[in-house]
Chain A
C-alpha cells in the first residue's frame, strides 16, 4: 500500500472554510511551545491575550484602536494583491502618510477643523500614493521587481521620518525627545467613550465599504480583477496594463498612507520616532488571510488587533519581545500556505503496482 496525493476535482466549501481556522489553531499550538521554551505557560498567555483585548470596554477600545491602521494598510495591500502586484511597502507608506499629514498640521496654520482634516487627509493620501507610485512606475515602465523596491523604500521612509523628528521638525520644548510639537485641536480627530478610540476607525470601515463597491461595481475594479487573473486576455481586450499597474500601486499606497494620517490625527497628535510598530507587515498577512474580500480585511484586522494588544501585555508581564508576534504571524502564514495544498489535493491509499 502506498500513500499518494491527487488533485481534487472541486474543493469542498467546508474545507475552504475550515482551513484558515485550523491553520491558526495549529500555529497557536506550535507558538505554545515557543512560549514554554521561554518559561511562560501558553494557556495563561492566551487567556491573558483574550482578557486584555476583549475582557473590558477599555480593552476592546484598545483593540479597535490597533485595528484601525491595520484595516487601512490591509485594504491597500489586498487591493494590489487583486492584480497580482505585491505591495510590501505599506509600512513605509504609513510613515510617509503620517509625515505628510503632520506637515500640514504643523505648518499650514489652517484654523478650521474640517478644512484641516481634509488638507491632512489629502496630503497623506497623495504622498502615500506617490511613494508607492515610484514602485508602480518602475514596475510598469521597466518591469522592475516591485517586492524589492517597495520593501527597500520602507527603510528609506522610516529614516526620513527619523531625520525630521530628530532634526528640523523636533519640538524645541520636547526635552530632546524625537518628536514634533503637539497638534492644535483643529488637527485632531474626535475621540469617543472616554477612550482612545477615534473617528479613524469609522473612516476605516467606510473605506472598506467604498473599496468593496469600487472593486465589485465599477469598470475599473473589473479591469483590475481581469488584469490580475489573466494579463494576456486583458491586453487583447485593450486594457492598458501599464497604467493600471501604476494606478493600483498608487491607490494601494494612498490607502496605506491614510493609516498614517489616522494615527497622527487620531492617536498620537504628533509625529514621532517609530509611529508604526510594523502595521505594514502585519497588513500582508491580513491581505493574504482575507483572500479577496474587503470585508474579510476588516474581520482579520480585528483578529490581528487582538493579537497586537495581547502581545503588548505579554511584553509587560513576561518581558517577551514584541517581535514574538512576528514569529507567530510567520507561523500562521506557513500553515495557511500548507493548508492550500490540502484544499487543492487529497490523500489516497493505492495498492503499489507490481512490476512484472
Chain B
C-alpha cells in the first residue's frame, strides 16, 4: 500500500518538479516567469508530436526542450531586452501556450504512442519501501534526480552559477564585474523554459502517453507557488513537488477506492493544499527562512545604475 502510494507520488510529482526547477532558474536570474503553465502545454504537445513523428522518445524530449526554449525566448526578449512588465508578459505566454497547443494539437488528439517504460536500477531498486518507488521508474524520472543535483552544483559550485545568482540579487553589481547581464538573463529564462517544457512532456510521454487539450490542468501554477516553498533551491523543489505529488496520489487513491466524497471536491485538494503551502512558506520567508532574490521582477537598465 505504502509502496503503491509512494510510487504514484513520484510519478505525479515529476512534471511539477521539472517545471519548478525551470522556474527557479528563471527567478534566480531575477525574472519572474508566470508563463510556466503555457510552457508546459507547449512542451507536452511538442514532446508528443516529436515522438509520434520520429518514433523516438528522446527526440520527443528534445523537441519539448527546444520548443520550450523558443517560447521562453519571447518572454526573455520582452522582459530582458525590452524591459517589459514581467507579470503581464508571463500571463501572455500562458495564454499563448494554451492557444497554440490547442490549435496545433488538434490533429494529435486521439493518437497514441509507446510511452516511457520502467527501467529498474539493479541493486537500488531492491531497497525496502523506497526501492521500487524511486529506482524502478522511467528514465525521465532518473533524469530529474540528476537535474536537481546539477542545478544545485551549478548555482553553488560554479562561477557561472554565482554570476546568475548575482543577476537576481544585484544586476548592477554583476554588470560592474563584467557579467553580461542581458545575455545571461536571456539564457537563464530560455534554458529554464526548456526544462519546464520537459515537465510538460512528462505528462504526454510518461503519465498518459497521449495529447489532451489543456492537459496540465493548473500544474504550471502550482509550480510557480512551489518556487517560493522551495526557497529558490533545487533540492527543496524536489521535496515540494513530491509533497504535491503525494496529495494528488492520495486523492486518486481515494477515488479508486470508491469513496462517497465527490470527485470534484477531491480534485480541489491539490490547489487548496498549494495555497496553504504558499501561505506558510511566505510567512517563513518573512521570518528569514530563505531569501527571495533581491531584484526579482525588476528590469535592469544600465542607465539607471547609481
Contact = CB atoms under 8 A, between A and B. Distances in A.
Shortest 6 CB-CB distances between A and B: which pairs? A327-B99, A330-B96, A323-B102, A333-B92, A326-B99, A337-B84
B175 interface: no
Given A7-B303, A324-B102, A145 B228 contact: yes
B275 A152 contact: yes
B57 interface: no
Given A147-B87, A166-B264, A321 B103 contact: yes
B225 to A, nearest CB: 5
Given A34-B103, A152-B225, A160-B268, A337 B275 contact: no
Given A155-B218, A163-B265, A142 B275 contact: no
Contact of B82 (A145, A162, A166, A337): A337
Given A138-B279, A149-B275, A341-B83, A325 B99 contact: yes
Given A86-B87, A143-B282, A320-B103, A334 B96 contact: yes
A144 interface: yes
A340 interface: yes
Contacts, number: 140
Nearest to B94: A330
B149 interface: no
B102 A321 contact: yes
B82 A167 contact: no
A329 B89 contact: no
A159 B262 CA distance: 10
A21 interface: no
Given A144-B278, A147-B87, A155-B218, A327 B271 contact: no
Contact of B99 (A143, A149, A152, A323): A323
A104 B64 CA distance: 48
24 contacts: A34-B103, A38-B103, A86-B87, A138-B279, A145-B278, A148-B278, A159-B264, A160-B264, A166-B262, A284-B91, A288-B88, A321-B106, A323-B99, A323-B214, A326-B99, A327-B103, A329-B95, A330-B97, A333-B88, A333-B91, A333-B95, A338-B84, A340-B85, A341-B82
A135 to B, nearest CB: 9
Interface in A313-335: 319-331, 333-334
Contacts of B282: 142-145
B99 A337 contact: no
A334 B87 contact: no
Choose among B101, B225, B228, B274 the residue with the greatest number of A CB atoms under 10 Å from its CB: B225
B279 A324 contact: no
A173 to B, nearest CB: 21
A143 B281 CA distance: 11
A329 B262 contact: no
A106 interface: no
A15 interface: no
B276 to A, nearest CB: 10
B179 interface: no
B224 interface: yes
Contacts of B265: 159, 163
Contacts of B303: 7
A144 B85 CA distance: 20
B162 interface: no
B252 interface: no
A142 B286 contact: yes
Given A167-B264, A327-B98, A329-B92, 13 more contacts: A86-B87, A138-B279, A142-B286, A143-B282, A145-B278, A166-B264, A322-B102, A326-B96, A330-B97, A333-B88, A333-B92, A337-B92, A340-B82
Contacts of B97: 330
Contacts of B278: 144-145, 148-149
Given A328-B99, A334-B74, A321 B225 contact: no
B211 interface: no
B18 interface: no
Q: Which of A38, A321, A331, A341 has the most CB of B within 10 A?
A: A321
A60 interface: no
Contact of A151 (B88, B221, B267, B279): B221
B211 to A, nearest CB: 13
B218 A152 contact: yes
Interface string A272-284: 0000000001001
A45 B221 CA distance: 33
A153 interface: yes
Nearest to A81: B88
Contacts of A284: 88, 91
B271 A155 contact: yes
A327 B100 contact: yes
A159 B268 CA distance: 7
B262 A167 contact: yes
A156 interface: yes
Contacts of A329: 92, 95, 99
Given A147-B87, A148-B221, A337-B82, A326 B264 contact: no
Interface in B146-188: none
A290 interface: no
Interface string B238-274: 0000000000000000000000001011011001101
Contacts of B267: 159
Interface in A217-262: none
A152 B221 contact: yes
B58 to A, nearest CB: 26
